[in-house]
Amino acid sequence: MRYDNIKSYKPEEFRRLTGVKPDTFSGMVALLVKAYAAKHGRGGRSSKLSIEDMLLATLGYLREYRTYAHIAADFGISESNLFRAVRWVEDTLIKDGRFHLPGKKALARSDVQYEVVLLDATETPCERPQKNSGGGIAVRKNGTR
């Protein structure tokens, strides 16, 4: 799925597909455009994917846990090219600091009350057929039937 196909979706549908609101997505794209211009300021080969498609592929990888091969096939590029694009997008967004997840300490300080459910998963023996001495494995090893 390319960005051109989903940019006209309603904000609720856009968020369901990408995991972020359209405003957040456009903020990420603005940051990536600046970083891409700085990276390719002196020239270099341009990417086969647009900035929006790189970000969409990254969000799809992080959200859906699909393999690089499947996402690369959707976008029509090689797996290694997609890997480099996803890694660049992740690193650029992390360096900025505006688009990061809270750490373990912030999650531990939250006021969320957890409900504990205990599950009894003990093993119970099942009946299995017993080996007999007349036609068992030991007789076959001797070569007699």
From CA 61, how far away is CA 71, in angstroms rounded?
Answer: 7
pLDDT at 58 over 60: yes
What pTM was computed for the model?
Answer: 0.68
pLDDT at 55: 94
Placement of tokens 């609720």 in the chain? 12
Report d(CA 56, CA 2) in Å as an integer: 8
Average pLDDT over residues 21-34: 94
- Residue-range domain boundaries for the chain: 14-40+49-96
Residue 116, SS3?
Answer: coil
Q: Which residues contact 138 (CB under 8 A, 6 or more apart)?
A: none
Residues 74-132: pLDDT tens digits?
999 999 999 999 999 999 998 988 887 666 676 566 676 767 887 777 777 777 777 66
Q: Are 48 and 81 in contact (CB under 8 A)?
A: yes
Full DSSP string of 33-44:
HHHHHHHTTT--
